[in-house]
Amino acid sequence: MRCDQTPAWKALTTHAAQATGFDLRTAFAQDPERVSALSQTAPHVFADLSKNHTDAATEALLIELARQTGLASHRDAMFRGEPINNTEGRAVMHWLLRQPEGSVSGDLAAPLKRAHDTLKPMLAYAENIRADAQITDVVNIGIGGSDLGPQMAVLALQDFVIPGKRFHFVSNVDGHELAAVLKGLKAENTLFLIASKTFTTLETMTNARSALAWFRAQGGSDVARHFAALTTHVAAAAEFGITTTFGFWNWVGGRYSLWSAIGLPVAIAIGAQGFRDLLAGAHAMDQHFQSAPLEANLPVRLGLLDVWYRNFLGYTSRSIAPYHCALRRLPAYLQQLEMESNGKRVDRNGHALLYGTSPVLWGEPGTNGQHAYFQMLHQGTDVVPVEFIAVKKPTHNLADHHELLLANAIAQAQALMLGQADEGGHQHFPGNRPSTFLLLDELTPTSLGALIALQEHRVFVSGSVWGINSFDQFGVELGKVLAQDIHARLLSGDTQGLDASSAALLQRVRLG
């Protein structure tokens, strides 16, 4: 049953109307057990949900909504390898890439074996590159999931990155990005990784061809040694001169592909064991999501909270505030994960929705954000739930820095909740602003894997309740198709048949 047709949806609508005066300060004063009831430990992640606009009654209704929309059955279908990506007729099995070797049977045994048959040589190749002192720079050329995931992970795990090698990520077709990276490189010391499942992605292949031309212009001749491809199109890679390829499968979506061969730059950066630890952390969260009761299932509780905010309280965005500079690309990674997955306007059957789906995700690392957009969070006219992400233990020994960082994270969550009275108005903070606090003991490959998998499954939960297909992304295609026509017109100057605005812009930007 679609969510808006369920009895639970109607009950939640009534409950939201009755909860218009909900105040966090009152909720804490009336319930001394609120923190324990709305906190949870999951693998490698502690979550404090107590500063959210929710209570036991709200959670109970949301759990009932999950039951009435068949969340558990949908989840189980994914873990059985059924084609839940119905618009493309594909299974959704990025989680299988994290399964230990030989741990499943039946229909899943063969794809798991293929995954490990790819993982082993990929990790062996990564170790060979790590041991190759001549290779000092690794350039990953991809876009979307072939860029954001590996880039985010390498930055997040910078304390585990092998010394003596630098990692660069090029995604934008804007040549300024590639040119800036190439300025500091030498052909004989550079390895290029071309990440494109089909080996046809316009931006990636444009950058790849330019990288190859630069390599040859710099005197490089051994393309097979200095280029590798993360692709299923081995023939196209061979035509390019690439002999080292690692593939993945159509049951791995781009934004879920970090765990596949797309993670090669991560494996080179942190080593084979580090990459296995990343997989193990994600697998631990998979097991939690698969087996924990809905009421004590952290991805479920977070995903249902997102539905509550989006559909019943009218909060249209969520700010991600990681209080760890190494997680500075996490907001961008989560933007793609959630908005590409759940930014849909029709249900799985193609029927138009009468309710909102994906919120807008945005953010910056703390404490930088405090001196920028936090003004709006505290005193703006919109209520924006904030997700704080902090790490208990630092890896540096600079005195008082980490204590001050953590103090700011906790204080900002406290200030959003408590507010401040001021009769003059300008220094009045209304308070009662919601936030979630996620805490890792340490930022390691294992804990990062768990954190990412938590976010993946949370997106699955909200998408499942909304009745949408979270695993296609047709919305990225139309503009790319039209760009091919515009590109040809830029070269020829032909504006016939274009709308007036596009024709005028084309004439204005034409070079020459």
Active site residue 33: no
Quote the CA–CA distance of 180 and 170 in Å, as a whole number. Answer: 10
Which residue bears the tokens 């139309």? 478
SS3 416: helix
Asked if 260 contacts 248 with a C-beta cutoff of 8 angstroms, the reply is yes
Catalytic residue among 10, 428, 480, 487: 480
Tokens of 348: 């799985």
- Angle of helix 202-217 relative to helix 175-182, nearest 10 degrees, comes to 30
* Whether residue 183 lies in the annotated active site: no
The residue from 120, 186, 351, 371 that is catalytic is 371
The residue among 439, 406, 383 whose CA lies nearest residue 24 is 383
Phi first, then psi: give them for residue 192, nearest 5 degrees.
-105, 130
| Cβ neighbourhood burial of 28 (10 Å; 0-12, 13-18, 19+) | middle
The question of whether 197 is a catalytic residue gets the answer no
186-219 b/e (C-beta count within 10 Å ≥ 16 → b): ebbebbbbbbbbebebebbbebbebbbebbeeee
Q: Classify residue 422 as left (phi > 0), alpha (psi -120 to 50) or beta.
A: beta
> Edge to edge, what strands does the sheet with 137-141 contain?
166-170, 137-141, 190-195, 227-230, 245-246
The structure tokens listed for 500 are 């007036």
Q: Of 338, 340, 387, 456, which residue is the catalytic one?
A: 340
**How far is Cα 184 from Cα 378, in angstroms, rounded to an integer?**
43
Catalytic sites, residue numbers = 340, 371, 480
